[in-house]
Amino acid sequence: VWDGFVDEAGRFLQKGPDFEGQIRQLRSGDGVFFTKPGARKLAHYVEREITRLLAGRSGPIALPSEPATPDTSAEPGKPAPRPLAGPIVPLVAA
């Protein structure tokens, strides 16, 4: 992300092009924290890198399994303990 927040000479930029290419204030007055446009630009770089890393992974995902026998330590009249994992549901409608 460094290249997105410095000028052509590699110097720190307080202002520069945002995610959409408009010149905006990218850093707050202290020069450390990002403004909203700067944070969006940073998020774009991070999302792109995460997508690139996840695209190379296509192996099986191990999910926790429930114990084969019921929990005998549960007290009568109390709610059942929470399961280790919930049902698997698609995140995108077909």
pLDDT tens, 31-88? 889 999 999 999 999 999 888 888 876 666 666 666 555 566 667 788 777 777 777 7
- 23 belongs to a structural domain: yes
Domains in the chain: how many in total?
1
pLDDT of residue 77: 80
- 6 belongs to a structural domain: yes
Helix then strand then coil, % of the chain, to nearest 5:
25, 10, 65
- 65 belongs to a structural domain: no
- 87 belongs to a structural domain: no
- 20 belongs to a structural domain: yes
pLDDT of residue 36: 95
- 66 belongs to a structural domain: no
Mean pLDDT, residues 10-34 taken together: 91
pLDDT of residue 39: 95
- 75 belongs to a structural domain: no
Range of 35's domain?
A: 2-55
- 60 belongs to a structural domain: no
**CA 39, CA 93: separation in Å to the nearest integer?**
30
